[in-house]
Amino acid sequence: MAVSFRAPEFNRDLCAKESLNFFVLSDTDRSVIKRYGVYDAQNDCAQRVTFLLDKNGFIRRIVRQVNPATHGKDLVELVRRWQLGESIYRDLCARCHGADGNATDLYPNTKPLGGIGNRMGDDEIVKATIASGFVHEMVLRKEEWQALAVFVSGLPLLTGDKHDARP
């Protein structure tokens, strides 16, 4: 789904004109775009930003560089990479870091990963994972390392934490 500050009629016409297969919700009072921190006060509209949310409402990825011409394909690719990364994480990382990335009691010296995307970029996450020595660099292909970083960067902090990833 998408959120627009425009009236429902405009969004309905846009969906029909562009043959969109998803809903464009109307946020005419700008409350949603303000809550997500993408309100452009100067132009009284939303910035073009995409939030990838999981089924529990956690923000797993924020895309600030949106190209309208390729965005549909870009979003499908992002979801594919996130799902691949989730599978790799489950197979290689969850036993030490827990399903949510916040386990610290499963193995000695295990650090929580929740919120790591606020501290590191994807390349830094890959380098740090390889440097840890727990997953050898040759175990994954480059695409798999990138997918793992996409997933890990979106691991939420513990619910209730002041940096909780839900809006």
Any idea where the domains of the chain sit in the sequence?
2-47, 72-153
Is the pTM above the cut of 0.85?
no
Handedness of CA 109, 110, 114, 117 (dihedral sign): positive
Domain 72-153 fold: Cytochrome Bc1 Complex; Chain D, domain 2 (1.10.760)
List phi, psi (to 5°) of 120: -135, 150
CB 81 within 8 A of CB 147: yes
The whole-angstrom separation of Cα 43 and Cα 12 is 22
Per-residue pLDDT, 162? 43
Is residue 93 within 8 A of residue 152, CB to CB? The reply is yes
For 112, phi then psi, to 5°, come to -70, 145
pLDDT in the model for residue 91 = 94
Integer Cα distance of 94 and 100 in angstroms: 8
**Dist CA 38 CA 30 (whole Å):** 10
pLDDT per position in the chain (167 positions), as tens? Answer: 789 999 999 999 988 998 888 888 999 999 999 999 999 999 999 999 998 888 888 888 989 999 988 988 898 899 999 999 999 999 999 988 988 888 888 777 788 888 888 889 999 999 998 998 888 889 999 999 999 999 999 998 765 544 444 44
Q: Of 64, 57, 63, which Cα lies nearest the Cα of 150?
A: 63
**Structure confidence at residue 159 (pLDDT):** 54
